């Protein structure tokens, strides 16, 4: 997991190696689209998917929210 700074703000970039279950991205995106404000879904790519695959990894980009980790709270 990486924090990425860009012209549009800060983002969280998540890389996954190995098998990727597309439902993890699709379900969170659907819940967010239905108004579930507490759900953080991956942002859509330029072709509309919620992930990209390159270099043997699945890449997901999320909005970044500053705060304390839930593991530390």
Q: Which residues contact 31 (CB under 8 A, 6 or more apart)?
A: 39, 41
Judge contact between 37 and 65, C-beta under 8 A: no
3-state secondary structure of 63: strand
* Complete edge-to-edge strand list for the sheet that includes strand 57-63: 2-6, 9-17, 57-63, 52-54
pLDDT at position 35 is: 95
Query: What is the chain's alpha carbon radius of gyration, rounded to the nearest angstrom?
Result: 13
pLDDT at position 4 is: 94
The per-residue pLDDT for range 43-71, each reduced to its tens digit, is: 999 999 999 999 999 999 999 988 887 77
pLDDT at position 72 is: 73
């Amino acid at each position: 997991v990486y924090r990425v700074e860009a012209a549009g703000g800060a983002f969280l970039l998540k890389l996954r190696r190995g098998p990727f279950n597309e439902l993890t991205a699709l379900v969170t995106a659907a819940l967010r689209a239905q108004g579930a404000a507490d759900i953080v879904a991956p942002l859509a790519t330029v072709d509309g998917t919620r992930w990209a695959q390159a270099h043997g990894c699945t890449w997901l980009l999320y909005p970044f929210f500053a705060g304390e980790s839930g593991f530390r709270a």
